[in-house]
Amino acid sequence: MRLKEIQHIFHKELDAIYDTNEVDSFFLLLIEAYYKISRLQMAMDPNIALEDDGKMVSALDALKNEVPIQYIIGETVFFGLPFKVDENVLIPRPETEELVDWIIKKTTVPNPTILDIGTGSGCIAVTLAKKMPEAKVFALDVSKEALEVATENAILNETTVDFLKADILDSNTWSTDFKKLKFDVVVSNPPYVREQEKARMKSNVVDNEPHLALFVSDENPLQFYKAITNFSTTNLKVGGRLFFEINEYLGNDMIQLLKAHNFVNIELKQDIFKRDRMIKGQIQK
């Protein structure tokens, strides 16, 4: 079947679900990922015939069920770097790129030690290791499957990250060596979506991305932030910084949490959409 014919079928089946331009984007991403046919090649010769269009048929079925395109092709781009993703990890978001950029700009100590808590795909830890090659980067997650994906991404991007399996909410899972480590930077993008907010989320996210990495109870929405802040008061070096990606509705609560633990130089930062999405604090010198 020719490419233009398959593209027509995509629009016929998907235009009622997605924006027309988004359908074109899906189609182009798929033919590049599956057949190494570039957008330019498609534009120059839409009559290219595929000997086996089975992958495109399967992808179309998945898109009709609103499976994210990143999971279908098994990869995405974060901070200009390639990352493998599957149903065991969240798909990296643009606001997390902003968080990483903030960390890079604010970390001026030589040879910093960095810990990423709840690393998921490893997008934060691997990117920091890639962009700050002098840093010693550690990454922690409770999910064995997520750590396998993160390890693959460290190899893919030719970086060195020390991965640790542990539950930040349960110190009994921490190794003795881990408890002794001291860091210049601790960063986390932990679960922060309250159950009450689930109804406002897109179904492709709720139905496909891991709930373990997304949701917290309405009664204790700062559960992970409290645990990580407590950990950081002991395991950050003097002058070290704690960075969080946060729920946009809980900025003031986060400021109070950091103040209660005697952090200074607290800064709440908005993303490009003017939402309160990041915060940092510093251990007093």
Tell me the pLDDT tens digit for each residue of 75-134.
Answer: 999 999 999 999 999 999 999 999 999 999 999 999 999 999 999 999 999 999 999 999
Q: Please give the radius of gyration of the chain, using alpha carbons only, rounded to the nearest integer.
A: 21
Q: What is the largest CA-CA distance in the chain?
A: 67
Q: Give me the numbers of helices (H) and strands (E) for the chain, helices first please.
A: 12, 11
What pLDDT score was predicted for residue 208?
Answer: 66
| pLDDT tens-place string over residues 30-51 | 999 999 999 999 999 999 998 8
d(CA 10, CA 5): 9
pLDDT tens digit sequence for 140-158: 999 999 999 999 999 999 9
Name the pTM for this structure: 0.90
d(CA 145, CA 122): 12
Looking at residue 35, its pLDDT comes to: 93
CA 258 to chain centroid, in Å, comes to 23
Q: Report in angstroms the alpha-carbon separations of 187 from 44, 119, 137, 278.
A: 46, 9, 11, 11
- Amino acid 220: pLDDT: 79
Output the pLDDT for position 197.
73
What integer best gives the mean pLDDT of the chain?
92
How far CA 124 is from CA of 83, 107, 224, in Å, comes to 11, 14, 17
Identify any residues that bridge with 264 across adjacent strands, giving them in sequence order: 282
